[in-house]
Structure 1
Amino acid sequence: MRSLAYAIAGVALGAAACGVPANGDATEGLTIGLSVSTMNNPYFVQFRDGAEAAAQRFGAKLAVADAQNNASRQATQIQGFTSRKLKAVIINPVDSNALATEVRAANLAGIAVIAADRAINHASVTQTLTSDNLAGGKLGAQELAKQIGGKGEVIVLRGTAGTSASRDRSKGFTDGIAAYPKIKVVAAQQADFDRAKGLNVMTGLIRSHPGLDGVFAENDEMALGAIQALGPKAGHVKVVGFDGTPDGIKAVRAGSMAATVTQQPRLIGWQAVQDAIKVAKGQTVAKTVAVPVKLATKENANEFWTF
């Protein structure tokens, strides 16, 4: 999106003033580890791309590992980074509750750990860098309520259990929809942030709830699966997604998705690497960073790039 491009440019221009090296020499030989929950999701591809762009910009090396949505595989990846004695590791956790042991071991080895896009629970990290998922969930609830006229039956498609993103988006949506007593959440079911699972779960739910008015999906992939399941009803049943992926924005432009709460995955990846370089060089960073979200609707969808 245009605002994202400007944001990344601003980060780069301000790098030297913030203490991050603006050339390769200052970070020569520095390798940052990055474990991504899954590369089978366009959102995390953008996240990875932003991280790689920052590493190239600042002259650091980035060791990228794909956990393939497997918490055990990711734990092994973190163990590998620790054995290599890297100075900083960025983790986008598969499960926010599953990496405490590995993170503690990294801490003991003097390795800084940054949790990116999702929090890590039960262990100390140097920084947690995420979108404002609570605010985004509430924003999604408000927009869905507006789209269906403040009354009717809605379904929630939840993301992967154990992730902070799903937990916070769910809470934000629940808090937001509570302001509309004429709206009833008739079902809330897990579909693991996956388009195919979103299609399958939604297909079953449509049979049980033929009078459905709206859907809130905790990411665009599940929203797109729900739209596919709705078939001819798509557009009549209002679907609100979350992420602002290229396919999600295209669906908003086309009118099959009513809206999506957009994140800035490239900026999250960029800033995670920028701050990892800072801590690797002994500088301090903010303990928590909440990256703003914005609503994309058909009226403003042309403001967002689809890359």
Structure 2
Amino acid sequence: MKNRLMITAITLLTAMLLLAGCGGQESSNVASDESGNKTEKDSGKPKVAVVLKGLDQEYFKLAEKGAKQAFKDLGVDGTFLAATTQTETEKLINILEDLINEDPDALVVMPSTEAAIPVLERYREKDIPVILIDTDLKWDGKTTYIGTDNYTAGQEAGKFLAEKLSKGDEIAILEGVLGTDVNEQRVKGVEDVMKEKGIKITASQAADFDRVKAVTVMENILTANPNIKGIFTANDEMAIGALKAVKARNLNIPIIGIDGTSDVLESISKGEVTASVAQEPYDMAYKGVENALKVLKGETVEKSIDSSIEVITKENAGEKLEEVKSILDK
């Protein structure tokens, strides 16, 4: 009798453990909402995924905030994913390949390079609309591009820098990730302005949009080219790196970047970095989700939507800084 009771108890315990194990496997059908809570995927709401090429810089965190606020405001079953850094092209592609198996209704993506096009083409083949934000691609399959005209941003930066210089002066450019459309267009914008103004670009080297790399690259440029009179950096992270190299030599060289992130805004307020061409990553992501919903409702959206830029100087840096801090809850 005792043996029978023991066998029965063991059988019941085994069954309970198996059921618990099966319950644990259901986690693949949940996602994090804008508050970080677990929510069932089959909510009846439109499923919109937002994927960013990186999350290691404040710029991307602003975009994340915009996406998650849109999820909340617009009643979306939202999924947010990102590669660790924007140089991890393969990681981004892997994220997109895994995500397509979850059949989102729409995809909002901040890509890194043209290498993402083949996997994005698979979304198009499944009739999943693809909205590009921040970084445009030469791909006819996109539903729309929402972001900055990066050539214009480069031009605006170049014009501002040229005003601080004289014909015949020499400048240096810190480029981002070579081969990316964002970098190439910004640099081209500056190059065209400098050619028109008769200002020589003595050095143009890549620092991968990275602050630490920018310090080393800028130090090497200043050593080889002691007559540099101005610096353009293709993003604000590199502007901070360039500033460190310039300050170490007790030099006073105008520096202008692109993005409008808080570190640079604080630096501009202190009279260090000269200016930044501010972008609107929060709005890009928010409008990405907003326009994804319009497409899902059968509405027509423009093929390109400009998210606007603004040149930030010491005069308006404080106001812009408060705006950025409020978004980031700083």
TM-score (norm 2): 0.81
**Aligned partner of 1:258 among 274, 277, 286:** 274
How many Å separate the matches in 1 of 2:166 and 2:71? 47
* Aligned partner letter, 2:115: A
- Tell me which structure has the larger Cα radius of gyration: 2
Tell me, yes or no, if structure 1 residue 287 matches structure 2 residue 311.
Answer: no
Tell me, yes or no, if structure 1 residue 90 matches structure 2 residue 128.
Answer: no
1:134 Cα deviation (Å)? 1.3
How many Å separate the matches in 1 of 2:300 and 2:184? 29
* Aligned partner letter, 1:54: A
Query: Contact 1:54/1:270 (CA < 8 Å) preserved in 2?
Result: yes
Query: Contact 2:175/2:207 (CA < 8 Å) preserved in 1?
Result: yes
Query: Contact 2:266/2:318 (CA < 8 Å) preserved in 1?
Result: no
* RMSD of aligned alpha carbons: 1.6
> Percent of pairs identical after alignment?
28
1:282 Cα deviation (Å)? 2.5
Give 5+ residue unaligned stretches, structure 2: 1-42, 326-330
How many Å separate the matches in 1 of 2:80 and 2:216? 31
Question: What is the DSSP-based 3-state SS (H/G/I as helix, E as strand, rest coil) of the residue aligned with 2:104?
Answer: coil
How many Å separate the matches in 2 of 1:50 and 1:150? 42
Q: Which has the higher contact order (CA 8 A, sep 6+)?
A: 1
1:235 Cα deviation (Å)? 6.6
* Aligned partner letter, 1:191: A
* Aligned partner letter, 1:192: D
How many Å separate the matches in 1 of 2:172 and 2:103? 46
Give 5+ residue unaligned stretches, structure 1: 1-26
Question: What is the DSSP-based 3-state SS (H/G/I as helix, E as strand, rest coil) of the residue aligned with 1:179?
Answer: helix
Tell me, yes or no, if structure 1 residue 194 matches structure 2 residue 210.
Answer: yes
How many Å separate the matches in 1 of 2:244 and 2:44? 48
The change in CA–CA distance for 1:62 and 1:91 in structure 2 (over 3 A counts) is same
Give a deviation string over 1:259-286, Cα, whole Å, max 9, x none: 1111111111110110112122332211
Give a deviation string over 1:170-221, Cα, whole Å, max 9, x none: 111111112211x210010111111111111111111101221110001000
* Aligned partner letter, 2:234: E
Residue of structure 2 equivalent to 1:144: 161
**Aligned partner of 2:283 among 267, 275, 291:** 267
How many Å separate the matches in 2 of 1:297 and 1:59? 38
* Structure that is richer in helix per residue: 2
Query: Contact 1:235/1:258 (CA < 8 Å) preserved in 2?
Result: no
* Aligned partner letter, 2:135: R
Runs in 1 of length 4+ with deviation above 3 angstroms?
A: 232-235
The change in CA–CA distance for 1:123 and 1:72 in structure 2 (over 3 A counts) is farther
Question: What is the DSSP-based 3-state SS (H/G/I as helix, E as strand, rest coil) of the residue aligned with 1:215?
Answer: strand
